């Protein structure tokens, strides 16, 4: 039994007090886990664009003060009542969406969109009692997407933790708890390109490059990267991208350019930008008869997707995906094994490392578009 079990833990957390202002390292109190909850010691966390988006509070309900963070790796410190499949000492990846294993979605082989634990960006409290487990001098600090990993200790629902191989290096595999798995799964689980096929990936950020990595693993013969920033092509080559298109370099729509380059269109496309024009291009650039386009990026709330219905009648398929169609508890441990078996390369996604006390540097890197993933070391 750990010496902290059942007790409040005082530790450091990076608190966002208001939108767009630098995070402040504070001493917070972290309450013990309640029923179906787990308290986790976070060892490594990384910054994802979703954290930045909600920290900036552009276009959604601002909720402050808040502890952000959802890409991380840690070790179970203690468990609440009713938790049976995790024990103190287990290595886990917290995931922003969960798997209760009991709802219709969790029981379906086709869906990973758990009714109970699906991502909820507005909720800043625990499901069990509607309260926060974080406080500073008695004042509650809100949670973020059920994980809040910018804290040395956090409390999550048991369904939002993937138990992984304890030999896996947490400072690497922590990036599999969000963006990398999202892009990888969009290709391997949803687009499912056949060996030798052609694939177009829209957006060469971390998620798009993970989608390209999936196409490389699947054995695609041509992987066409599409991005408005031509300087990304050099980096994209490391992820299997064979050709690069910048829509700004062409007088005709990029889907027409791709159709000309590939004798009628690519076999598969994956869109990872959230830009509705890119989504339309991704759908219209796939080959008739068998082409499949997969949408990954989250569009603006007022966005409208427009295409001619004949594109569907000509047997093109349009799909969407959430977290790469991975069920967090069931599937993420096997993604970690892909890395352990050297099928999947993670190191090339990690471009920066900072100590926890310098977490704001990670925000600076992302806001400048500098690099892919910055690992934040909690223990300095």
Quickly tell me which residue has 């490389």 as its tokens. Answer: 216
Burial of 252 (C-beta count, 10 Å sphere; 0-12/13-18/19+): exposed
- To the nearest 10 degrees (0 to 180), the angle between helices 276-284 and 254-261 is 30
CA gap 56, 366 in Å, rounded: 13
CA gap 292, 136 in Å, rounded: 50
Answer whether 267's CB lies under 8 Å from 193's CB: yes
122 to 34, 107, 125, 343, 378: CA distances (angstroms) = 21, 26, 9, 37, 26
Enumerate the active-site residues.
48-50, 70-71, 100, 103, 106, 114, 118, 178, 373
Quickly tell me which residue has 């758990």 as its tokens. Answer: 114
Answer whether 216's CB lies under 8 Å from 236's CB: no
């Amino acid at each position: 039994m750990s010496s902290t079990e059942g007790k409040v833990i005082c530790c450091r957390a990076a608190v966002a007090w208001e939108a767009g202002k630098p995070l402040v390292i504070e001493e917070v109190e972290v309450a013990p886990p309640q029923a179906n909850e787990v308290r986790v010691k976070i060892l490594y966390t990384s910054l994802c664009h979703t954290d930045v988006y909600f920290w900036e509070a552009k276009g959604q309900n601002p909720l402050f003060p808040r502890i952000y963070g959802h890409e991380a790796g840690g070790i179970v410190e203690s468990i609440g009542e009713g938790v049976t499949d995790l024990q103190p000492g287990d290595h886990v990846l917290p995931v922003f969406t969960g798997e209760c294993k009991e709802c219709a979605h969790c029981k379906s082989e086709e869906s990973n969109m758990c009714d109970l634990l699906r991502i909820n960006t507005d909720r800043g409290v625990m499901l069990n009692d509607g309260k926060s487990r974080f406080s500073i001098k008695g004042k509650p600090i809100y949670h973020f997407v059920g994980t809040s990993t910018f804290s040395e200790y956090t409390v999550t629902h048991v369904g939002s933790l993937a138990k992984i191989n304890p030999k896996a290096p947490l400072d690497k595999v922590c990036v599999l708890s969000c963006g990398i798995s999202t892009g990888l799964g969009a290709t391997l689980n949803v687009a499912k390109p056949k060996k030798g096929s052609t694939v177009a990936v829209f957006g060469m950020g971390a998620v798009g490059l993970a989608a390209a990595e999936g196409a490389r693993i699947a054995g695609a013969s041509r992987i066409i990267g599409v991005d408005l920033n031509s300087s990304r092509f050099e980096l994209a080559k490391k992820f299997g991208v064979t050709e690069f298109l910048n829509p700004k370099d062409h007088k005709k729509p990029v889907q027409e350019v791709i159709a000309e380059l590939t004798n009628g269109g690519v076999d598969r496309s994956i869109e990872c930008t959230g830009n509705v024009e890119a989504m339309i291009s991704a759908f219209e650039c796939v080959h008739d008869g068998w082409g499949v386009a997969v949408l990954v990026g989250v569009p603006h709330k007022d966005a409208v997707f427009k295409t001619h219905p004949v594109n569907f009648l000509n047997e093109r398929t349009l799909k969407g995906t959430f977290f790469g169609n991975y069920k967090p508890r069931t599937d993420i441990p096997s993604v970690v094994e892909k890395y352990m078996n050297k099928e999947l390369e993670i190191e090339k996604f990690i471009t920066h490392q900072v100590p926890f006390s310098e977490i704001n540097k990670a925000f600076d890197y992302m806001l400048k578009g500098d690099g892919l993933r910055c690992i934040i070391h909690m223990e300095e």
